[in-house]
Structure 1
Amino acid sequence: MSKSNILFIINPISGGKDKLKIPALIDAHLDREKFNPNFSFTEYVGHASEIAEEAANKNFDVIVAVGGDGTINEVAAKVMQYDKILGIIPFGSGNGLARYMKIPLKPVQAIQLINEGKAGLIDTGRFNGKAFFNMAGMGFDAHISSVFAGNKSRGLSGYLKLGFREVLSYRPQTYRLIIDGKEYIREAVVLSIANSSQYGNNAHIAAGASVTDGLLDVCVIPQFPLYKLPVLAYEMLNAKTDQSDLVEIIRGKEIRILRSQDDAIHIDGEPFFMGREIEVSVAPLSLNIISP
């Protein structure tokens, strides 16, 4: 039986965790009868995308993202484009897609999952032409992603501290939503487009979302009194937002968003700046990914 060429693209700074020993760990646990492994470390934002494209053109069958949702996004976009197979070893701050897909957070177990080689197709999204795989959106979470990108205190604790600091001053915006031809006007603090159910760290914004239903979940959180924040946190951590009075969820395939000004957005947790009109769509069963 011929071996598959496999490349591990490692983000050395994702999640604030040291990964210099990851190649040796992979060497120790990867099934060498199935795979010919190679390793590459990213050096800057966008580098994972460049490495993945080069690997796809060099006939690597499986390309593995070793990092968080941002690294996965860069790698997965090229894996999808070139019809390869995506593997994940989670090393991010939140690991939203990996958690949703039940990919083990412990590296050895994630490597063993790759050894099993069970791949299946999932939906993906497009956000003004940019691919996303877990979550995209605007509002408070996009604002926090933008500020967090320049924060040296990576990880969940740094993210939470920043969120508590910024929540007091953030103001909602008004959005015009056209979802599969139907119009909605909503004032929201957060507007998230969910492919999977969660941001990461088991915080589920769209508890009923599925990556195989051919739909995206538009999650609208209006402004609410701060004393209700623990209620929202409870609902998210217990995957009950689909029953919440604090979150409205509208499902659709084609979504157009109009807002009053250019502003921050996030795509799989990574910040960008976009204009007042956003076009969002779903591509059903378009990414081949190794998962349980």
Structure 2
Amino acid sequence: MTKKRIQFLINPISGGKSKKGFERLARKYLNDDLFEASFKITERAQHASELTKIAIQEQVDLVVAVGGDGTINEIAKELLNTPTPLAIVPEGSGNGLARYLGISSDVSQAIAKINKGHIITIDSGLVNGKAFFNVAGMGFDALISDRFAENMTRGPVGYLKIVLKEISRYKPQEYTICIDGNEIQREAFMISIANSPQYGNNAYIAPGASVDDGLLDVCIIKQFPLIQFPVMIYHLFSRTAHQSDYVEIIKGKQITIERPQRGPVHLDGEPFTLDKKLSIEVLPSSLNVVC
């Protein structure tokens, strides 16, 4: 039997965790009767995308993202609408998509899923032509993603510190939102576009979202009194965000959002500066994933 060629792409700084022993661990648990593995470490932003393109050209059978949602994004956007599946070993700060797919951050368990080789096909999203797979957003969470990218302290603690610093001075914006032809006006603290239900760390912004329903969940978070912040956090972690008076969730396929000016948007937690008009769409059944 011909072995499948498997390419591991390792983000050495994701989640603030050392990956020095990763290759040894992976080789220990990977079924070498089935796979011939190679390992590459990313050296800069978008390097994982470059390495994935090379892997596709070399007709590798499987590409493994070893990192968080940002690493997954870099790799998965190159695998969109190709037969090459993505596998995930979660090593990020939040691991939103992996958590939703039931992929453990324990290396042995994540590799066990690769050995079993069960593949599903999931939806993806596009914002002005840029792909996302977990959650995209604008407003406050995009600002936080921008600040977090500049911060030296990774992980949930570093993220929370930035949130607490910025939340009291952030001002909501006016948005014109069109979802499948229905236009609404909203003043919003932030807007999240969810393909899967959670940001990461089991914080659920769209409890009813699914990666295989052919829809995106537009989550509009209205301005709330600062005294309500602990309640909002409770809703996120108890999967009841949809029950909050400050959250409105509308499902759709084709979405446009206009805001006062161009500014930050995050795609799977990675910040970008995009135009004031955002065209968003779902790409049904566009990515093969081992889970």
Same fold (TM over 0.5): yes
Instruction: Give the letter aligned to residue 232 of structure 2.
Output: L
Contact 2:82–2:287 (CA under 8 A) maintained in structure 1: no
> 1:220, 1:260 → 2: CA distance?
16
In 1, distance between residues paired with 2:100 and 2:244? 20
Deviation at 1:140, TM superposition (A): 0.4
The Cα of 1:226 is off from its aligned counterpart by 1.0
Residue of structure 1 in register with 2:209 after alignment: 209
Question: In structure 2, what is the equivalent of residue 126 of structure 1?
Answer: 126
CA distance in 1, matches of 2:87, 2:187: 38
| 1:176 corresponding residue in structure 2 | 176
Summarize deviations over 1:16-59 as a string: whole Å, max 9, x none: 00001101101111000111100000000000000001001101
Structure 2 counterparts to residues 58-207 of structure 1, below 5 A: 58-207=58-207
Q: Which residue of 2 aligns with 1:249?
A: 249
Q: Kindly indicate whether the alpha-carbon contact (under 8 Å) linking 2:137 and 2:193 is maintained by their aligned counterparts in 1.
A: yes
Name the amino acid aligned to 1:243: Q
Gaps of 5+ in 1: none
TM-fit CA distance, 1:81:
4.4
Code of the aligned partner of 2:180 = D
How far, CA to CA, are the matches of 2:145 and 2:208 in structure 1?
A: 24
Q: SS of 2:169's equivalent?
A: coil
* 1:274 corresponds to 2:279: no
Q: Distance in 2 between matches of 1:242 and 1:211?
A: 18
Aligned partners of 1:243, 1:210: CA distance in 2, in Å?
18
The number of residue pairs the alignment matches comes to: 291
CA deviations over 1:95-147 (Å, ceiling 9, x no partner): 01001111111111101111111001011001100010001010000000001
Alignment of 1:16-95 (within 5 A): 16-95=16-95
How far did 1:2 drift? 1.7
Could you list the runs of 4 or more consecutive aligned residues of structure 1 that deviate by over 2 angstroms after TM superposition?
none
1:114 is aligned with what amino acid? I
> Using a 3 Å threshold, how does the CA distance of structure 1 residues 144 and 160 change in structure 2: closer, same or farther?
same
* Structure 1: distance between partners of 2:83 and 2:269: 24
Shift of 1:272: 0.4
Measure, in 2, the Cα distance between the counterparts of 1:273 and 1:205.
Answer: 23
RMSD across aligned C-alpha pairs, in angstroms? 0.7
Please report how far the alpha carbon of residue 180 of structure 1 lies from its aligned counterpart in structure 2 after TM superposition. Answer: 0.2
Report SS of the residue matched to 2:92.
coil
Aligned equivalents of 1:83, 1:174: Cα separation in 2: 41
**SS at the partner of 2:70?**
helix
Paired AA for residue 264 in structure 1: P
Consecutive unaligned residues in structure 2, runs of 5 or more: none
Counterpart code for 1:204: Y
SS in 2 for 1:149: helix
Rounded to whole Å, the distance in 1 between the matches of 2:51 and 2:82 is: 13
Counterpart CA distance in 2 for 1:90 and 1:265 is: 23
SS of 1:75 mapped into structure 2: helix
Percent of residue pairs bearing the same amino acid type: 52
